[in-house]
Structure 1
Amino acid sequence: MSLFTAPATPAGPDELPAHVQLAMSRDDTPSEGLPRDDARDRRVAAEGSVVERWYLAGAEGLADDVLALLEADPDGRVCAAACSERLMRERFRLD
């Protein structure tokens, strides 16, 4: 189980609201039944519904270009989710 919280954060001319993300998974089962499919992710980011794009923004292992598409999404909820994912990547980078 992991919990991520973020305070309100400036994001360009706007501000991302404070938010909480909770993820629960089991070690003996994959959280997603299928391996990452970058081509599918690109299609969803470009053509999917707001809900599909929002869920995609929180997926682990997204290609950088897919995450960039979601960060530039016209829907603020998708953009906020993608910006949060980017923040998590930067904060928990294992370099």
Structure 2
Amino acid sequence: MISADLGQQLERYVTELVASGRYGSKSEVLREGVRLIQDREAQLMALDAALAQSLAEADAGRGTDAATVFDRLEAKYRAAAGRTPGHGA
């Protein structure tokens, strides 16, 4: 069993969440918090892996130069602006 000192501010917040009925117990609040941290850590690991892969591809000369990327983005947003109400087409 884990015992944790959350400090007054977090303890008060956890108590408020339980009192509001949003959570059934302090343990539920803490479990949800740990699940959210797990999700965030998994997302960060996926981003790190994607970044490492992209850097490896760039080092191997398989990247796209910035000017080409910006040209594509500019064209994409210019086209999207033309489709919004009040901006033409």
TM range, normalised to the smaller chain? Answer: under 0.3
Name the TM-score, length of structure 1 as normaliser: 0.26
Give the number of the structure whose residues are more often strand, by fraction. 1
For the pair shown, the structure with the greater C-alpha radius of gyration is 2
Higher relative contact order, structure no. (Cα contacts within 8 Å, ≥ 6 residues apart): 1
Give the number of the structure whose residues are more often helix, by fraction. 2
